[in-house]
Every structure is written in structure tokens, then in C-alpha cells.
Structure 1
Amino acid sequence: MADWGTRPASAADVEAVAALRAVVLRADLERLGRYDERRVRQRLRDGFVPEHSRVIEVGGAFAGCVSLRPAEDAHWLEHFYLTPPVQGGGVGGAVLRDLLDRCDRDGLVVRLNVLRGSRARRLYARHGFVVESEDAVDVFMVRPRSVPGRRVPG
């Protein structure tokens, strides 16, 4: 696995993350008949909150983003994107494990939505997320509050 780390996101990161989102989601959105590059980027801009986000770096270079947004009944895992060269090398699993370990220490329920047919769904399932509901585009998943002594393999 590559040498990776995270740093706090800033407002200056929004365009790099929006561009990455357009690349990463393109194939799944095209398959679902919903790809519009301008809209994909704008939705990121509209929902990006630097205070809840971390930029992922590999070898000191931008490699992705992940956000954990607090909500009333859970925290939402959002904007989890990795550049294509980094995907499949274990960085995503390591980032997710680190984030979920912190959530477990705080006793947090974590929710997310993933596009139907996305390969990312398998990553989330390996980390304890289960399907809560689905619609024509999204699969909504939840990872319940940690049970003492439980360790989800990753």
C-alpha cells in the first residue's frame, strides 16, 4: 500500500474535489443515464463543507477526499473519492478503517449512500455497512454503533 495521509480540507480544495468527483462517478452515472458533468461538479460545490472534510494525499500529492457530516441521528460519510491510480491499492480501505475507528470510539452510527451498481458498495459492506433502503439511483447503507469488542475486518 502507498504512503498516505490526510489533512484538513479548505475552501481552496473544492475545485480539485469537484473535478475528481466528475471522473470517479462518470461510469456509474452514465450507466444509470444520469451523467451531466456540470451538474456533478456543481452538486459537490453545493454540498462541500471543508470543516467536515479531509483531503487524502499519497506521497504528498492530492489523491482524494472524504467527509463525515454530523446529522441528528448519525454521521454521513460523503465525498469519498480516490484518484483512479490510487483505487484498488488499499488506501481506500485504510482511510475508511481509520475514520470508522474514530467513529467507534465515539459510539457513532454512520450512514452513506452509494450509486446502484458501484464497486464501492463491496468496500462498505466489508466494513460493516448494511443496506437500509434503495431507490432507482442510490443504495442507502448504515453502519450501526460499535458493539464493544467487535472488530470489523478490513
Structure 2
Amino acid sequence: MENVDLRPATAGDDEFLYDLHRRALGDVIEATWGPWDDDVQREFHRKWFAPETVELVLVGGRQAGMVQAAMIDATTFYISRIEIAPEVQGSGVGTTVLRGLLDRARGSGAHVVELHVLQLNRARDLYERLGFQVVDVEPPKLRMRLVL
């Protein structure tokens, strides 16, 4: 596998991130809420996108995903979003990124890492493989936790 790195997002990454969201999660969103509505999704993206909170995943220097994660209190590291481009899914990129985030959480003094995942999202398998467990069902999402 090529090098996997993270870099801070910039305002110029806006369209890439919107397109990534559609490509990475469009099928899951449609299976959960019905047909993709570009107006609704663009509004969601507009409200969500704050470059200072996002990092791009680079594979061999090319944009291949994004993460949004931070400490939310003295002991909890929360992964708000992680999206990996379909063309690199299944290649170990997601595992590498998540392991890096877990190392970051440990280095920040976290005792637990939490995230939410849509129930139909196949990424749940990856999270479980890395030790996350479902701690609550909040349809259409699951809340998952890993104790460090």
C-alpha cells in the first residue's frame, strides 16, 4: 500500500469533500433515507463543512478520503466522520487511518473512542474488527465505543 497521510482541509477542498460524501456514502444514504436529494445533501454539507475541523486522507499524495475527529471532553475522543473513496476501500486505507486516530486518542489522554455509524454502513465491520462495540442503537445509527 502507498503511504497514507493526513493534511488539514482548506476551503478549496469543499467540492472534493462533497463529491467524496456522495461517492463514499451515497448508497448507504439512499438505502437509509431514500433517493439522493442533491439540494438536501448540499445544504447538509454547507452546514457541516468547517475546514479547520477536517483532515484529508492522502494516499500516495492523492486525495482519497477525509476524517473529522477530536477530544470532546477530558477522556473521550470522538470520530465525527470518516469517509474513504470507493476506489481505495478494502485496501487497508481505512484501517491505517483508524489506527492512526486511535494512536492520536491515546496520545491525547483519551480513555474511550466513540463514533456513530449508519446501521447499513459496511464500515461497521471494520470498526468491530478494531475492537469497537455497539453501546446504543439510535436509529438509523449505532453508537460504538472502544475502551483504550
Q: CA deviation at 1:112?
A: 1.0
Say whether the 8 Å CA contact 1:2–1:89 is kept in structure 2: no
TM-score normalised to structure 1 length: 0.83
Matching residue of 1:117: 120
Q: Distance in 2 between matches of 1:105 and 1:71?
A: 14
Say whether the 8 Å CA contact 2:119–2:142 is kept in structure 1: yes
The structure-2 alpha-carbon separation of the partners of 1:61 and 1:70, relative to structure 1 and needing over 3 Å to count, comes to same
The structure-2 alpha-carbon separation of the partners of 1:70 and 1:48, relative to structure 1 and needing over 3 Å to count, comes to farther
Q: CA deviation at 1:31?
A: 1.5
Identity of aligned residues (%): 36
- Mark the runs of 5 or more structure 1 residues left unpaired by the alignment: 147-154
* 1:55 paired to 2:56: yes
Q: CA deviation at 1:74?
A: 2.4
Matching residue of 2:22: 22
Say whether the 8 Å CA contact 1:113–1:141 is kept in structure 2: yes
Q: Distance in 2 between matches of 1:69 and 1:105?
A: 12
Q: 2:93 aligns with which of 91, 95, 106?
A: 91
Q: CA deviation at 1:8?
A: 1.3
Q: CA deviation at 1:58?
A: 1.4
Q: Distance in 2 between matches of 1:92 and 1:54?
A: 14
Q: CA RMSD in A?
A: 1.8
Counterpart amino acid of residue 43 in structure 1: F
Flag the structure with higher helix content: 2
Superposed, which structure 2 residues align to 1:1-154 within 5 Å?
1-34=1-34, 35-72=36-73, 74-108=76-110, 109-144=112-147, 146=148
- 1:13-70 CA deviation, whole Å, 9 max, x = no partner? 1221122112211111221234433323332331233223211111211111001133
| SS of equivalent to 1:40 | helix
Q: CA deviation at 1:2?
A: 2.7
Q: Distance in 2 between matches of 1:41 and 1:77?
A: 22
- Mark the runs of 5 or more structure 2 residues left unpaired by the alignment: none
| SS of equivalent to 1:85 | helix
User: Which segment drifts farther, 65-74 or 132-141?
Assistant: 65-74
TM-score normalised to structure 2 length: 0.86
Q: Distance in 1 between matches of 2:143 and 2:9?
A: 25
